[in-house]
Chain A
Amino acid sequence: MKEFVEGSHAVAQIIKACQPGVISAYPITPQTHIVEDLAQLVANGELKAQFVNVESEHSAASVVLGASATGVRVYTATSSQGLFYMQEVVFNIAGMRLPVVMTCANRAISAPINIWNDQQDSVSLRDAGWIQIYAEDNQEAVDFHLIGYRLAEDRRVMLPVMVCMDGFILTHGMETVDLPEQDKVNKFLPNYNPLYKLDPAEPISMGLLADPDYYMETRFAIQETMKASLGYLSEISSEFNTVFGRDYKDLLVQEYQTKDADKVIVAMGSVCGTIKEVVDEQRAKGKKVGLLRIITYRPFPYTRVYEALKDVPRVAVLDKAVSLGAYAPLAVEMKAAFYGKNKGPKVISSFVGGLGGRDITLESIHEVFRRLTAKEVNSDFIDLKPELLKEEYGK
């Protein structure tokens, strides 16, 4: 059913439809509206779940970890500092192969404190063993949660899924969203039925000490499952299309006007909407430009990226995060995808923009295309204000 709703509200509605048994979260901007809505739904008796109020994100993550280990479907959401406070539990959840689904309402990282959007929070946790999917709009944010549960709880996968949606831009943005009907959700997402669970009648321990004789295999297994999950994502998304009448290709990447393009921008999340507008504008003028949107960042779809861009001469990678002192995170993956290959772009330039909520405007995207020349640049910041950089230390 189509509704004109706020992104957070739409996410709360789909989580309600997925019927988790336990929800635990701690409020943090810009994630708050999602869990506020869910708390209300539980209080109203519309969602039969236990909503556990906690004193911190570390506890919220621990609650969903423990609850998931008992074999119940769980949900949590956070942002920024909250995600970082969860960090050790985030790794634990993946290590214990618990199919937790979390929304990360992407927000910048302190200091200085900043509540606005960039993708530094989730990108920084790329090595945690979570599948990370980035939504461009609120329809995707809704659908990705449903697909996320299905993928996470697949017995071939059993890994947590982080659905990343840009804070404010999506969480607080109003859009028309086709909210999946309950009967179709039930058809697509069967009840969670784990192979192992904590049960007093048949006691087991999970996540216990694994000495050097055992630990490495746990990591190797996640690595292999991650690689295999690229295929499962395609499979599950095509089933999703059948049930809900959508048109997702494979949920790994989206190719937008890349086929004959001379210049392509690579990016993740809501900024891709802006880039598409610029691409349309330039195409109308006969300029061969395009966009490759990375949807799944972990596992990273190297093969799909290679196939999509192997004949494109110039590529600009636009990161909304930085790896201070090194190449930008998405740029690293793009360069790795072509290293040692026969074909590939002659230039892969890396740009950083939109940090701490600075708007990436149509003009910003035009600027990226302009700076994408024969001379490769690395971590080139766009929309900088040079007048703010004149202060000297101690003066």
Chain B
Amino acid sequence: MFGPLTVKPSESKGDKTGSWRTQVRPHYLHKDCIACRMCLMICPEGCVHGKEKNAFWADYNFCKGCGVCADICPKKDIAMVAEEPKGEDK
């Protein structure tokens, strides 16, 4: 029997680490967003994307659920919600 043995050269993005997240994940409410980009800038994983107001989102394939985006949001437009039992798109 064999487990994972080899990998082909690629980007580190191929290694999806979202499974490390426990308990909570950021939920972008898309109500009062002013597109200040603070959440995108502070994310230690660089996994927040978006340009327009009320259109920012976190890529759960990489998000660790640290909550700093929710903390820094001046409009309190990001809520930390309980992790769903299953369903991140890995």
Contact = CB atoms under 8 A, between A and B. Distances in A.
A306 to B, nearest CB: 24
B4 A204 contact: no
B23 interface: no
Contacts of B15: 209, 211
Interface residues of A, number: 24
Nearest to A204: B6
Contact of A203 (B4, B8, B19): B8
B64 to A, nearest CB: 12
Contacts of A222: 3
B20 A212 contact: yes
B90 to A, nearest CB: 9
Contacts of A224: 1
Contact of A97 (B2, B8, B17): B2
A158 B6 CA distance: 14
Contacts of B17: 211, 213
A187 to B, nearest CB: 28
A218 interface: yes
Contacts of B6: 196, 204-206
A203 B7 CA distance: 9
B87 interface: no
Given A211-B15, A211-B17, A206 B5 contact: yes
A213 B3 contact: no
Contact of B7 (A204, A213, A217, A221): A204
B85 interface: no
A214 B8 contact: no
Contacts of A220: 1, 3
Contacts of B20: 211-212
A104 to B, nearest CB: 26
B1 A218 contact: no
Contact of B5 (A96, A211, A212, A213): A96
A101 B8 CA distance: 27
Contacts of B5: 96-97, 196, 206, 218
Contacts of A196: 5-6
B8 A218 contact: no
Interface string B15-34: 11101100000000000000
A283 interface: no
A277 B19 CA distance: 61
B7 A205 contact: yes
A208 interface: yes
A219 interface: yes
A228 interface: yes
B3 A214 contact: yes
Contacts of B3: 214, 217-222
Contacts of B4: 210, 214, 217-218
B10 to A, nearest CB: 10
A225 B1 contact: yes
Contacts of B2: 97, 158, 221, 225
Contacts of A96: 5
B79 to A, nearest CB: 27
Interface of A: 96-97, 158, 196, 203-206, 208-214, 217-222, 224-225, 228
8 contacts: A196-B6, A205-B8, A209-B15, A211-B17, A211-B20, A213-B19, A217-B3, A225-B1
Interface of B: 1-9, 15-17, 19-20
Given A203-B8, A205-B6, A213-B17, 6 more contacts: A204-B6, A204-B7, A204-B9, A205-B7, A214-B3, A219-B3
Pairs of residues from A and B, 9 with the lowest C-beta to C-beta distance, nearest first = A217-B3, A218-B3, A221-B3, A224-B1, A221-B1, A204-B6, A214-B4, A205-B7, A221-B2
